[in-house]
Amino acid sequence: MADTEAFIVSLVQMRPGQKGKIVEINGGYGLTQKLDTLGIGTGKEITKVSGQLMRGPVLLQHNNTQAAVGFGMASRIIVEVHGKDKK
């Protein structure tokens, strides 16, 4: 298969250093507004910086800004990760 193959995962399932594009946010108005104030939304390119092993916060980067989101929020952010970054 080509290296451009993409797959869909939640932000929690990404590994640190992986890059992807947000394709969906599975939440209501409040969640999308909170993420929007952090500059995180559908269509944005992000990089997962770090995450905790057992349900801790997830640190992600968008452009030159880093933001921490809780495990529950991160599990509702659906990201398209490209094949070359899935290792």
Q: What is the pTM of this model?
A: 0.84
Neighbours of 14 (CB within 10 A): 23
Q: Rounded to whole angstroms, what are the CA distances from 67 to 4, 25, 42, 47, 86?
A: 27, 16, 16, 11, 22
Of the pLDDT bands very low, low, confident and very high (cuts 50, 70, 90), residue 54 is: confident
Three-class secondary structure of residue 18 per DSSP: coil
pLDDT tens-digit series, residues 57-75: 999 999 899 999 999 999 9
pLDDT of residue 3: 53
pLDDT at 1 over 50: no
Of the pLDDT bands very low, low, confident and very high (cuts 50, 70, 90), residue 82 is: confident
pLDDT tens-digit series, residues 19-47: 999 999 999 999 999 999 988 999 999 99
- The more confident residue out of 72 and 53 is 72
Domains, the chain: 6-85 (2.30.30.90)
